[in-house]
A and B are shown apart, each in its own frame.
Chain A
Amino acid sequence: MSGAAAMQTMSPPGDAGGPRSARPVRMTPARWGLYAFLAITAAFFLLPLWVMVVTSLKTMNEIRLGAIIAPPLAPTLEAWAKAWSSACTGLACDGIRVGFWNSVKILVPSVFISILVGSMTGYALSFWRVPGANVLFTAMMIVAFIPYQVFIYPLVRVFAFIGLGQSIATIVIVHTIFGLPTMTLLFRNYFSSLPIELFKAARIDGASFYQIFFRIMMPMATPMIVVAVILQVTGIWNDFILGLVFAGRENLPMTVQLNNIVASVQGEREYNVDMAATMLTALLPLVVYFGSGRWFVRGIAAGAVKG
C-alpha cells in the first residue's frame, strides 16, 4: 500500500497515462523559518515568566550561585510564604496579603459599579435621543486618551472637600469615573448593533426605560458583560497610580504594596521574595487571561475600538 503511494509520488504531474498524482510537498524551508521566528519570539515572551517562577522557588544562596534561568534544584515555597505573610514595606512586616485583600476590597465594588454605570450610559446613549448626548459621547472619546495627571489634583481636592478623602469609597468612584469611557463605548457599540425594532417593540408593549434595560437589554448583553468584567478586573487589579493617590495609606492596593516591598531594601535584597510577591500580584490577571481564552482577545478588540 505504502509502496504504491510512493510510486505515485514519483510519477511526474504531466504524465498522461500515469496514475493519479499525489500532492507534492511544499516549501519546507520557508515553513521552518516561520516556525523558527515564532519559537524565538515566543522564548523572548516566555523568558520573564519562567525566570519569575523559578526565582521565586529558589533560595537566595542558589540564586547567587546558579544561572538565572536554571530550574530550582530543590524547589521551596519559603519565599512565597514570606512574600505572602511577612515581607516588609517600611516598618510594617505583614506581607503582601494586606495589599491582596485591599485590592479585593477595591476590585469587587469597582467592577460592579463601573459596569452598571457604563452599561446604563451606553444603553441610554444608543436608544434614547437626549439633548447633550453627543457632547457627552465625544467628550468621553477624547478623555479616554488623556493622561490621569491632568485630573488627579483637582479630584484629590474634590474628594477632600466632600469629606471622602482617601478611602475605599473614593477609589471605587475614581475607578468608575475612569472606566466610564471604555465601558460606555463597549455597551453603546453592542446595543447599537441590536435591531432597533427590538427596542421599539418593547416600548409598544409598554415597557419602561429601566424595564427595557434590566429585562431585555442586559440579559442579551451577557457576552459584553463577560468582556467588560475581564477588562475591568485586569485593568483595576493592575492599576497603580490611582490606588496610590486615592485609596489612602490603609487601603493601598497590591501593586503599590508590591512596589513598596521591592523598594524597601533593608540589608540584602531577597530576589526570591521579590519575585514571589511579583508572581502573587500577577496571578489574578494571569488566571483571568488563561482562563478566559478568546474572551480576553475579544475584550482587547472591543476596548481597542475606542482608538
Chain B
Amino acid sequence: MASPRMSSRASAYSALLPAFIVLAVVYIGSTVWTMWMSLTGSRMLPNNNFVGLRNYEILFSNDRWITSVHNLAFFGVLFVAISLALGFLLAVAIDQKVRSEDSWRSVYLYPYSMSFVVTGLVWQWLLNPTLGIQKLVRDMGFETFTFDWIAHAETVLYCLVIAGVWHAAGLVMAIMLAGLRGVDEDIWKAARVDGLPTWRVYASVVTPMLGASFATAGVLLSTSVVRLYDLSVAMTRGGPGIASEVPAKFVMDHLFERANISLATAAATSMLITVIAVVAPYMYWRTRVAARGRA
C-alpha cells in the first residue's frame, strides 16, 4: 500500500509526464537528432554516414544561404531598432495623460493580433507599384513619384521592415507603457519639485529605469526575427530573385522541396547556435537580477 504522501508525489509526476515527454523527445531528442543529421550525408531520407563538418562548408559557400543570413541581419537590425524606437515614443506619448488613451492603444496594438500572412498580403497590396500607394500619389498629380521598393532587389528588405514594424511596434508600446506605469508616482513628483523638465526626467531618470522593459522587448523582437518565415513567404516569396530570402525559409525549402536534409539541418543548427548566443547572456542576466532581488 502506498502512503497518501507517495500517491501525491505520484500524482505530481503524472501531471508532469507530458512535459517530461516533451522535454525528452522534442527539446532534447529532436535537437540532438537535427544536430546529428547536419553531420551526415542525408539527402531525401536520413542516413548515418558521418561526414564531419562538410555540410557546414557547403552551407557557408551557398549563395542563397549567405544572402539569407545577410538579409536577416539587415532586416533584424532595422526592424528591432525602429520597432523599439517607435514603440517607446508611442508609449511616452500615450503616457502624457492623453484623451481616450484606450483607443490610441488599441489602434497601435491591433496589428499584433493578426498573422504574418495577413500582414504580408496587405502590405504586398499596399506596396503594389501598379495599383498601390505609388499610383495613389501619382494620381494626385505627382507623376514622377516612385515607390516601387517591393519590385527591386536592393530595396525589397525595407518593405519587410515596414510590414514588420507595423506588426510589432504596438507590442513594444504595450511593454514600454507597462514599464512607464510601473515607475513610482513619487519619482515624478520629486522630479517636479526638483524642477526637472519632463524630457529631462524621461532621458535621465525614467529611461534608465526601463532597462528590463527594453531587454524584454528586444529579446521578443529578436526571436521573432530569427523565426521570420511567414512574412517573407506571404509578402515576397523570397523575391525578387533571392533578394528577400531568410534562413528559416532556406531550411523549409531544403527540407521539403529540395530534399537535402543534411544541408537543411546544418542551416537549422546554425540558427540554433545564433539564438543561444543571443538568449544565453539574457537568461544569465535575468537569473542574476532575480537572485539579487531575492537577496
A residues lining the B interface (CB < 8 Å): 34-35, 37-38, 41-42, 44-49, 51-52, 55, 63-64, 67-69, 117, 120-121, 123-125, 128, 130, 132-133, 135-136, 139-155, 157-158, 176-177, 180, 184, 203, 208-210, 213, 234, 237-241, 245, 255-256, 258-259, 262-263, 271, 274-275, 278, 281-282, 285-286, 288-290, 293-294, 296-297, 300-301, 304-305, 307
> Using Cβ atoms and an 8 Å threshold, which residues of chain B touch A35?
98
Q: Are B227 and A147 in contact (CB under 8 A)?
A: yes
How many A-B residue pairs lie within 8 Å, measured between CB atoms?
264
Q: Are B13 and A42 in contact (CB under 8 A)?
A: no
Measured CA separation A156–B93 after assembly (Å): 47
> Using Cβ atoms and an 8 Å threshold, which residues of chain A touch B109?
289, 296-297, 300
Q: Is the interface of B mostly helix, strand, loop or mixed?
A: helix
Smallest Cβ-Cβ distance to B36: which chain A residue: A154
Q: Closest CB of chain A to B78's CB: distance in Å? A: 16
A sample of 5 inter-chain contacts (CB < 8 A) reads: A69-B136, A133-B16, A153-B34, A154-B29, A271-B125
Q: Are A304 and B216 in contact (CB under 8 A)?
A: yes
Q: Closest CB of chain B to A187's CB: distance in Å? A: 12
Q: Are B118 and A241 in contact (CB under 8 A)?
A: no
B99-124 near A? 1/0 per residue, CB < 8 Å: 00010111111111111111101110
- Interface size class, chain B: 35 or more
**Is B201 part of the contact surface with A, judged by Cβ < 8 Å?**
no
> Using Cβ atoms and an 8 Å threshold, which residues of chain B touch A213?
15
Q: Kindly list 8 other residue pairs between chains A and B, CB separation below 8 angstroms, not including A38-B94, A307-B219.
A: A34-B96, A67-B139, A68-B131, A68-B135, A180-B18, A180-B19, A297-B174, A307-B223
Q: Are A262 and B121 in contact (CB under 8 A)?
A: yes
Q: Are B117 and A296 in contact (CB under 8 A)?
A: no
Measured CA separation A93–B106 after assembly (Å): 36
Q: Are A49 and B283 in contact (CB under 8 A)?
A: no
> Using Cβ atoms and an 8 Å threshold, which residues of chain B touch A143?
26-27
Measured CA separation A45–B103 after assembly (Å): 12
Measured CA separation A69–B113 after assembly (Å): 23
Tell whether A150 pairs with B9 under 8 Å between CB atoms, given A48-B126, A255-B117. no
